[in-house]
Structure 1
Amino acid sequence: MTALDAAPTAARRRLAPRGLTWSVLRLHRTALYVGGAALVAFAAAMVWMYVIGDTARASTGPCITPAPCFEMTASTFDDTTYRRIVSRTAEALSYLMFPVAAWAGGALIGRELESGTARLAWTQSVTPLRWLAAKLAVPALLLTAGTTTAVLLNVWARQDGGPDLALDWYSTDTFITTGPTAVTYALAGLALGALAGLVTKRALPAAGLGFAAALAFFNLMDWYRWHLWPTSSGTASGPDGYQLPQTALHMSSGYVLTSGERREGALLCTNLPSPGCLKEGDVAARYTDFHPQSHHWPLQLMDAGIALALAALATVVAFWLLRRSTPSRG
């Protein structure tokens, strides 16, 4: 082989991943292939959604006369398909943290500790902390890139995000998949799964524990999410109360007394007063607390920040546990 022939070969070797990065990619190439195929399928679904979007929206538009109204509001292939794709892809992306947590606990960490593969790697001039750093950094980068791409495609395909087709902005699946929350949830799942693997040191229990931890976090945030940002409030003195914007999320409502006190869920006295009801003369107005659609991004950033903090905390604890269990290796 001449020097000219050897130069391209040497350049290719320098560009190819080596060391721990390459070993992580090679060992978990099946997960990489599955994730790549899922992203391609997701992208194809988003392109199809974008293509049929205009026709689907036209079928839900306002009516002018009774006859066209019947034709326009009838279910069509395009709007039915659009709704189905929106629902299924949003579910898949918002629940991504569950399989990630189970895989991280079972295959990424738990299986290698259980089989002794990790300890074998530690004898090959690879410290435990460096091993764990590579184990987390490589999938974290791939998850961030893939999930960010999926979220951007989802927002692009939804276009105006009209609730008639794309569901309300505050529904759980829609909210998670239209901002950075989806990305940070996937990273939280990765960190929780890795921590579960280090705690149990066995593949199957780690997968179950990682999944359970992700499920607990998901449900906690689903319940507490709307309390992360102050609500807006509207008052009205009419009998119908304050009329919410169509896209607003109702949180609570009640009466404002002449004293300025607010009573949530109270009842006005009628001809037959009951204990605890309010007299009409004591009521100044009705109030409603709600989240307008403009609160989407503040809530997104708060939710994503908590998930990212959880991922960081779980990662720190994982490194601490590994260092504590292998003090002589560092």
Structure 2
Amino acid sequence: MTTALSAATAPATRTRRGPSGLVWTVLRLHRTALVFGGLALAVASGCLVWMYAIGDEARRGMGGCAEPVAVEGLPSCASIDAATTDTYTFFIGLLATSLSFVIFPVAAWSGGALIARELENGTAQLAWTQSVTPARWLAAKLAVPAVLLTTGTGGVALLNLWARQHDGPDLGGDWYYSDVFIVTGPTVVAYPLAGLALGALAGLLWRRALPAAGVGFAATLLLYNVLERYRADLWPTVTRVEPGGFELPRSAWQRGWNDGLTRATYHPRSHFWPLQYVETGILLAVAAVATFAAFRLLRRRMP
């Protein structure tokens, strides 16, 4: 009877659910960045849904119209709202620019807040004296934001493609424009990952938040400008020669021509994916090398 009573009155063991360990620590320490990132993601997603909703009307504004009434399949000019077209062009361009520049705040945050600040105030060293090894600490610091950045930027990039609906260049910009090129392919995910790794390496090198954030930003700025400058050289161009002269389509990315346009070198629209794959490969290689260097540096500096 006593045994049964004891078993009945014994408090039930509570099982803790939800994230725990290093993952939970990273999320908790950087919840402010997580909240702001989530808000930015929500705003961008809502804006892209809006762009999709007004996309058809914006496209009508780019075509021809008839006055005073619709004729020959053209809509009436009175039915076209030019303001909608301007709104669509402005916001779709603003979102493209914002997405292509995500690498810079990611690198500054990674170098300053994610890595260097914890080294500077001793939080990292305290964790190492407990059950967390330096390698596991750094792995968690990089893996958690890498997953969040991949899913976040990847999701917004897919929404961006859905909202654009293969827009013409007058609405969404030519495919070879830097912002458009980055946000319409896998480079949109690779750029933030490279920024994350470069920022982490800067944080381990400088070990102080402000200098590390600045160095991480500068490193990614250099990477961004170099790739933008030499993007056209990442894949062989096409050369076209016609003695009588010719005109290239607007979709061609012209790289060189003579005065009479009898000889031209250019990238056709079909080169979009080869250029994307090469640039993405370079960015992922930079991220991998920077990550490897960060782990080696951490190991060297540990007693």
Could you say whether these structures have the same fold, taking a TM-score greater than 0.5 normalized by the shorter chain as the test? yes
Q: Match of 2:88?
A: 82
Distance 2:237 2:79 in 1: 34
Answering whether residue 20 of structure 2 is matched by residue 18 of structure 1, we say yes
Distance 1:66 1:292 in 2: 40
Contact persistence 1:248–1:293 (CA under 8 A): yes
Q: Does 1:27 align with 2:3?
A: no
Within 5 A, what are the aligned runs for 1:90-129? 90-129=96-135
Q: 1:6 to 1:293 in 2, by over 3 A?
A: farther
Name the % identity: 55
1:324 matches 2:300: yes
> What's the counterpart of residue 282 of structure 1?
none
SS at the partner of 1:245?
Answer: coil
Structure 1 residue aligned with 2:170: 164
Q: Secondary structure at the match of 2:144?
A: helix
For residues 204 and 45 of structure 1, the distance between their equivalents in structure 2, rounded to whole angstroms, comes to: 33
| Aligned partner letter, 1:246 | R
Q: 1:128 to 1:55 in 2, by over 3 A?
A: same
Residue aligned with 1:252, SS: strand
Q: Distance in 2 between matches of 1:72 and 1:301?
A: 45
Match of residue 131, structure 1, among 117, 122, 137 = 137
Distance 1:2 1:303, change over 3 A: farther
Say which of 228, 237, 251 aligns to 1:231. 237
Normalised to the residue count of structure 2, the TM-score between the two structures is: 0.91
Does 2:51 match 1:45? no
Matched to 1:42, the amino acid is A
- Structure 1: which 5+ runs fail to align? 255-266, 269-284
C-alpha separation between the residues in 2 aligned to 1:304 and 1:57?
31
Q: 1:190 to 1:45 in 2, by over 3 A?
A: same
1:248 partnered with 2:252: yes
**Retained in 2: the 8 A contact 1:234–1:242?**
no
Cα deviation for residue 233 of structure 1 reads 2.2
Q: By how many angstroms is 1:64 displaced? A: 5.7
Per-residue CA shift, 1:280-312, capped at 9, x if unaligned? xxxxx9211111111111111111110000000
Which deviations, in whole Å up to 9, do the C-alpha atoms of 1:220-260 show, x marking residues without a partner? 0000111111112222221xx22111211111113xxxxxx
Runs of 4+ deviating beyond 4 Å = 63-70, 72-75
Separation in structure 1 between the aligned mates of residue 239 and residue 249 of structure 2, nearest angstrom: 12
CA 1:320–1:162 in 2, change beyond 3 Å: closer, same or farther?
same
For 1:64 and 1:305, how far apart are their aligned partners in 2? 49
Cα distance change of structure 1 residues 42 and 124 upon mapping to structure 2, 3 Å threshold? same
**Whole-Å Cα distance in 1 between the matches of residues 213 and 24 of structure 2?**
24
Q: Distance in 2 between matches of 1:164 and 1:196?
A: 40
Q: Which amino acid aligns with 2:256?
A: S
Name the CA distance, whole Å, in 2 between partners of 1:72 and 1:130. Answer: 64
Partner of 2:188: 182
Q: Which runs of 5+ in 2 are unaligned?
A: 1-6
Partners of 1:184 and 1:308 within 8 A in 2: yes
**Retained in 2: the 8 A contact 1:60–1:73?**
no
Q: 1:309: which partner in 2?
A: 285
Q: In the aligned structure 2, how far is the partner of 1:72 from the partner of 1:236? A: 45
- Distance (Å, rounded) in 1 between the aligned partners of 2:119 and 2:137: 12
Number of residue pairs matched by the alignment: 292
Task: Judge conservation of contact 2:67–2:77 (CA < 8 Å) in 1.
Answer: no
Per the alignment, residue 278 of structure 1 pairs with none
AA aligned to 1:21 is V
TM-score using structure 1 length: 0.83
Partners of 1:127 and 1:194 in 2: CA distance = 17
Is the contact made by 1:250 and 1:291 (CA closer than 8 Å) also made in structure 2? yes
The amino acid that maps onto 1:243 is: E
- 1:124 and 1:50 map into 2 onto residues whose CA distance is 51
1:144 matched to 2:120? The reply is no
Identify if the C-alpha distance between structure 1 residues 186 and 72 changes in structure 2 by more than 3 Å, giving closer, same or farther: farther
Q: Aligned AA for 1:58?
A: R
Q: 1:55 pairs with 44, 57, 75, which one?
A: 57
Distance 1:74 1:36 in 2: 36
